[in-house]
A = this chain, B = another copy of it.
């Protein structure tokens, strides 16, 4: 893989994400403002608009890649970017509903360098506000009252169900020693790619695109999501801690059954066999014992994954999904500058360093 994204791609992607955040944030704030107290405050904390004391904050509400995709998707269908705004906000609400619930289920105490909602406001508020954001998503779409809004909500609901299926699979895989490549890809398709796919079609649907166009855009988004996740899985093991902000070997520390691990275990040969033996022994250790491991232990596991071909396979998989995304894009007639941005985003995703 190249050494990182080109300056031109980085500039395009940065501008795209900036626009997504700038246009969607007021819609999100208005939606959250509908919530009964104290859910409005808890949601504002989650989005980084206020701190734990209720004072205004300029927190990091995430990359806002989904709203950016939704706006571009409307333009792909020849509509104004603003046509997508209720869809952009709805997809972002569903994404944040899943973050609130997943952080609680997974016991994660930090998100975007801040304490998670369940940690600050308690589990009940994390459940409630997640539920409320999920309901708000349908509400702001359906109150448009158009057939397009009905179609958009149907796609969003289907994607939400996949998201929930993906989290269920992720949780059930934690209790297993091995996960096949196919199972891992299915889980990642549900948990990551489905909602990105929905974001990439929802603007077009609201802009009046036909189902074939919406399906092709969704295909682009689905491949983009799988490429993104493959790279995420690579960075989770071999990412530079200075760039990712995570500890070295982060996914190995969490014993995550990610693509490189599954691919390595599925390979023939001695490295795969030794890796499997280590992991069988690891599975008997508590998380605390495991975290006491020397750096060299994680480095040894990473080396075996690489030797067995798990790293190369995942890099190829990212490139396959990148190619799939571009092929899907070819099925849709769209203005040249819109296609350029979709392409820049796909390129950026596979060569990013964090």
* Interface set of A (CB-CB < 8 Å, partner B): 34-39, 97, 101, 104-105, 123-124, 127-128, 130-132, 134-136, 138-139, 142-143, 145, 147, 149-150, 153-154, 157-158, 160-161, 164-165, 167-169, 171-172
Contacts and interface: CB of A to CB of B under 8 A. Distances in A.
Nearest to A165: B36
Given A147-B150, A150-B147, A172-B38, A139 B158 contact: yes
Contacts of A142: 150, 153-154, 157
Given A38-B168, A138-B138, A161 B132 contact: yes
7 contacts: A36-B168, A39-B164, A128-B167, A132-B161, A135-B157, A142-B157, A147-B147
Nearest to A128: B168
- Copies of this chain held together in the complex: 2
User: At the interface, is chain A mostly helix, strand, loop or mixed?
Assistant: helix
A95 to B, nearest CB: 13
Contacts of A37: 168, 172
B105 A123 contact: yes
A94 to B, nearest CB: 9
A103 to B, nearest CB: 11
B124 A127 contact: no
Nearest to A40: B168
Nearest to A153: B142
B171 A131 contact: no
B157 A139 contact: yes
A183 to B, nearest CB: 12
A131 B164 contact: yes
A21 to B, nearest CB: 25
Contacts of A158: 139
B105 A124 contact: yes
A146 to B, nearest CB: 9
Contacts of A104: 123, 127
Given A150-B142, A150-B149, A39 B168 contact: yes
A225 B185 CA distance: 46
Given A104-B127, A127-B101, A164 B150 contact: no
Task: Give me the 7 closest cross-chain CB pairs, A-B, nearest first.
Answer: A150-B150, A142-B154, A36-B165, A105-B124, A138-B157, A135-B161, A135-B160
